[in-house]
Amino acid sequence: MIKSLRLATALLAFIFVGTASATTVSEFSQFSTQVVLFSGLSTSDLVFHQGDVVSYNMTIGSFIQGTMETTVKSVSKEAVVLIQKIEAMGQVQNCEETLNPITGVVTNTVCNGQQQNPGDPTGDVIESRQESVTVPAGTFDTIYTKIRNKKTHAENEQWTNQKLIPILGVVKMTATTQFGPMVVELTSFKKN
């Protein structure tokens, strides 16, 4: 439970810090593997398999509707490569993120051919508990975590289940963006 709580806390931190300060949807993507850096965890706490896929509906404010899909492209002793596709408002963003499977350090992030800086997420957990949540993909037992960004003081929430949901275990999240509240909900997943 402690390890799962620590991981859920870290997962929320990476997503929330990115979206709290994000100015575009593309900036959200660059934080998708920063959980490992924030928490000091090894990626051995996360299990990646080539071909794993998670898909989400995404709503930002009352006017931006979109989807987000993340796939594990490859896994080796040297690197885990994630591919993320975000579609919103007629725009498509494709990102490839590489992380070191031993340290969790993001070694490369490229979105639409542009090198990205993943940033430095910092936040404090203010609440965490076990909770059931229903999303388009079904009802899941999760670890609910609320975190406060140390820089902006924005509070964001995440529901995770690392044992069942591949890649980062995210079932649902809410975050603050400059465009209004963002809600991301799991629509489907495939584990290999």
Q: DSSP string spanning 17-57?
A: HHHHH-SSHHHHHTTTTTHHHHHT--GGGS---TT-EEEEE
Confidence of residue 186 (pLDDT cuts 50, 70, 90): very high
Low-confidence winner among 44-48, 109-113, 158-162 (lowest mean pLDDT): 44-48
Which CATH architecture describes the domain 2-190?
A: Beta Barrel (2.40)
Residue ranges of domains in the chain? 2-190
Q: Answer yes or no: is pLDDT of 50 > 90.
A: yes
